[in-house]
Structure 1
Amino acid sequence: MSSLEHLRSWVTSANEHPDFPLQNLPFGVFSRPGLDKRGGVAVGDCIFDLQVAIEANLFDGTSRVAAEAASRGQLNDFFALGASPRQALRRELLKLLDENSPQRERLQALGETLLVPMRDCQMHLPAHVGDYTDFYVGIHHAMNVGKLFRPDNPLLPNYKYVPIAYHGRASTLCVSGTPVKRPNGQTLAPGADVPGFGPSKRLDYELEVGVWMGQGNEAGEPIGIADASEHIAGFCLLNDWSARDLQAWEYQPLGPFLSKSFATSISPWVVTAEALAPFRAAQPKRPSGDPQPLDYLFDEQDQKQGALDIELEVLLLTAQMKEQGIAPQRLALSNTLNMYWTVAQMVTHHSVNGCKLQAGDLFGTGTLSGPQAGQFGSLLEMTEGGKHAVELPSGETRKFLEAGDEVILKARCRREGQVAIGFGECRGVIVG
């Protein structure tokens, strides 16, 4: 892709838009009254309706094939096409939406049938997720949580050798804005000999990035580290809601179960690998004394450009704050550079045993906390397991989430000489 920092759009709301300028063009699935679910592209405050664009013969060749796949009620078919058709469609969209587009008048004549106001639309899950895997690559989160339970040995011996992960529950993935019902389960109260049953009292969020798989692999055929980035279609925000009291009782010996499977929220827009290319970074060097990745997980190019520089933010808005007109309170500001493993390493390790990955599979990075206060991606870390309360501008305090609390995740990419792009929001309100 050529440099895009000087491009502007005839869609005026896209220019200086905090999330969706012309340089972003993320894909999603939306509906509006009278129209079924369909694929579209976010540009400014509007959604570019791909079905209307196809009917208007705005694409041909490879870009049309890609547009047809992306116009459906799920993006799986689009993801399965791989990088080349996706890039062809992006190039054509950039031409069509550029302020100097030769087709500007024709496109403007289509009005709101082509460019639908985002406020009039309902967003849906971008793809049908066959499998969802949650990793644990945020080393500072792993350290912070480990210290709560093993102060002298917070990281288990395998952490710096293996991209740790567990299989989550795809059926309870939900799009941003879906209410989250407080889960029930077994918990063991301090000092008790037998567990009780009831609603979780230690409900938490986790600040993560979601990774959408593009083309998969055949069973028994691992994806090599040098090729792994070609299998990644895009990224989103992900909140892996966690019932910490259920988790503490159930996680040994097999890990999370009911404490995680009740809900996972994701943002609706898929920010493509191409849009994020200007924000690639070198993978942070490992501390002295840490082992280097095993050969199958090491690629020099991946170490030079396999990381992403994405600013991540968590905000909290309580019911009382809403009533008082108080703005959401920032709880944390972190970054994807806090990942100990790259996304390519996650893909490679997941498939190295011959596991079949498929288009539309979703990975979570795990909680991406920073090393300092103000950078923690969960209340578990902020409150040191509930020992300290977080003070809010309404006068309220929180150790864990309460009914009516709304958690808001945001993400932004900034770099000198580049147009900033964002991910939109990932929201969820606690019910009960």
Structure 2
Amino acid sequence: MSWVEGAAGSPYGVHNLPYGVFVQADRAPRIGVRIGDLVLDLDGAEAAGLILAGDALRQPTLNAFLALGQPQWTTVRRRIVELLTAQEHRPAVAPLLIPLDRVDLVLPFEVADYVDFYSSEQHAGNVGKIFRPGAAPLLPNWRHLPVGYHGRAGTVVVSGTPIVRPQGQRSTPDGPVYGPSTRLDIEAEVGFVVGVPSALGQRVPVADFAAHVFGVVLVNDWSARDIQAWEYQPLGPFLGKSFATSVSPWVVPLEALAEAWVPAPTQEPAVLDYLRDVPHLGLDLRLTVDWNGERVSEPPFEGMYWTPAQQLAHLTVNGAALRTGDLYASGTVSGPRRDQVGSFLELTWGGAEAVKLSDGSTRTFLLDGDTVRIGATAPGPDGTTVGLGEVAGTIAPAGPA
């Protein structure tokens, strides 16, 4: 039990302790960990000798700490729990606790590379039906490997960053035209943050997932569906997705999700040996999607066909190196029901079925001024809940042509 006021019963108690980076007044960015509605200044804690991490917690991003590896992650986590639960540490630690409403949260790590997968059978099937009516919903390779694409690390932004409506080419009956996207969409996803790198030419087996991946963030992979539909054949996503990808400001350590692992869906046909993960486990994460403050969907992550460990193994099977700060995302999370889908493409069935919001307005895709918030929780120890925070963004008008 933590001595910190408000920590008991919070989804951000000592069973969670997500890491982030914050700024306050004119001070440089500092690493912190969330406890209740407070942030513990880990820069100050290491400077005071309360935590030993080789100055990795005194940096402006999490990257140096991420690179330390699992033994050090565990040691530091245990020390933070001790500082926040033992009364003897209260006099030294209490002055380092800052209310969240007095800080601004920034991108917690420097993103090295960004990869996005396509791992929900329900989402892939829905998209296939919408984009390729009359054809098989899933392409022949889909059940054999985790389909993905290499995204743009430089446009990964922290939650709350305005999303400027992208412009580009889109198809019309009279030929291609240029202008702002008219079918701007979301993709509710879960991202995995790599800490320990791997050498070029080295494959990372599924069993080594936890030795390389530090933790989890929420992701909104904003998508311009009209730009995407015109450009994606034959090489896949490009400008329809690379304009912005939002991530939540808190990185939840894998250690905080120990109680959230559940059996993943059975895979048929059997996967190739390098993708065989035993036990075959996914995460019981429960996502929420709010459109202008109204709950429109609750996607279940536990039904994802391809697991995070399989995604990492496939990402490196050709010898591609991992780097500290790599981010790979799950792909859109969708369940079997319409109120469980993770994109508005599916929610409105390609724009054919408008959604009516509580203020009486209707939507198919995003309008300027719309705000989308994606949240998630997971089961924790002894009936607790682990909060993953939220990733939010508001659509700003397109800039000059």
TM-score by length of 1: 0.90
Conservation of the 8 A alpha-carbon contact between 1:83 and 1:230: yes
Given candidates 328, 331, 342, the residue that maps to 2:307 is: 342
Corresponding residue of 1:325: none
Query: Which amino acid letter does the alignment assign opposite residue 243 of structure 1?
Result: A
The superposition leaves residues 256-276 of structure 1 with CA deviations (integer Å, 9 ceiling, x where unpaired) of 111001110000000000001
Q: Does 1:243 align with 2:224?
A: yes
Choose from 17, 29, 48 the match for 1:25.
17
CA 1:411–1:55 in structure 2 vs 1: closer, same or farther (change >3 Å)?
Answer: same
Q: Which residue of 1 aligns with 2:99?
A: 117
- Matched with 1:294 is 272
Deviations 1:194-223 (A, max 9, x none): 200000000000000011012111000111
Residue of structure 2 in register with 1:321 after alignment: none
1:89 aligns with 2:76: yes
- Unpaired segments ≥5 residues, structure 2: none
- Alignment-mate amino acid for residue 190 of structure 2: V
CA contact (8 A) 2:43 2:58 kept: yes
- 3-state SS of the aligned residue for 1:54? helix
- Structure 1 position 71, deviation (Å): 3.2
Q: How far does residue 402 in structure 1 lie from its aligned partner after superposition?
A: 0.2
Corresponding residue number in structure 1 for 2:192: 211
Is contact 1:69–1:77 with CA below 8 Å preserved after alignment? yes
**Residue equivalent to 1:13:** 6
Task: Give the match for residue 320 of structure 2.
Answer: 355
SS of the equivalent of 1:256 reads coil
5+ residue gaps, structure 1: 1-7, 318-327
Aligned counterparts, 1:30-429, within 5 A: 30-59=22-51, 64-65=52-53, 68-98=55-85, 100-108=86-94, 111=95, 114-150=96-132, 151-189=134-172, 191-192=173-174, 194-286=175-267, 290-301=268-279, 303=280, 306-317=281-292, 328-414=293-379, 417-429=382-394
Q: Report the 3-state secondary structure (helix = DSSP H, G, I; strand = E; otherwise coil) of the residue aligned with 1:248.
A: helix
* Alignment root-mean-square deviation, CA: 1.2
Shift in Å, 1:415: 5.8
Q: 1-side partners of 2:378 and 2:369: how far apart?
A: 30
C-alpha separation between the residues in 1 aligned to 2:148 and 2:58? 32
Q: Provide the rounded CA distance (Å) in 2 between the counterparts of 1:282 and 1:417.
A: 20
Is the CA contact 2:159–2:393 (under 8 Å) kept in the aligned structure 1? yes
Quote how far apart the aligned CAs of 1:392 are: 0.4
CA distance in 2, matches of 1:75, 1:161: 35
The one-letter amino acid of 1:39's match is I
Give aligned pairs, total: 396
1:396 CA displacement: 0.1
Whole-angstrom distance in 2 between the partners of 1:415 and 1:47? 20
Larger mean CA deviation between 166-175 and 415-424 belongs to 415-424
Aligned-partner Cα distance in 2 for 1:93–1:143:
44
Identity across aligned pairs (percent)? Answer: 45
Cα offset, 1:116, TM superposition: 1.2
Q: Contact (CA 8 Å) 1:40, 1:71: kept in 2 or not?
A: no
Counterparts of 2:265 and 2:339 in 1: how far apart (Å)?
A: 21
Alpha-carbon distance in structure 1 between the residues aligned to 2:87 and 2:129: 56
Per-residue deviation, 1:185: 0.3
**Shift in alpha-carbon separation, 1:418–1:165, aligned structure 2, 3 A:** same
Moved more, 411-420 or 45-54: 411-420
Aligned equivalents of 1:348, 1:298: Cα separation in 2: 10
CA distance in 2, matches of 1:107, 1:426: 29
The structural deviation recorded for 1:416 is: 7.8
Q: TM-score, normalised by structure 2?
A: 0.96
Q: CA deviation at 1:102?
A: 2.2
CA distance in 2, matches of 1:139, 1:71: 42
Deviation digits for residues 28-49 of structure 1, max 9, x if unmatched?
1111003101111011111100
Residue 52 of structure 1 aligns to a residue in which SS? helix
Q: Distance in 1 between matches of 2:147 and 2:46?
A: 43
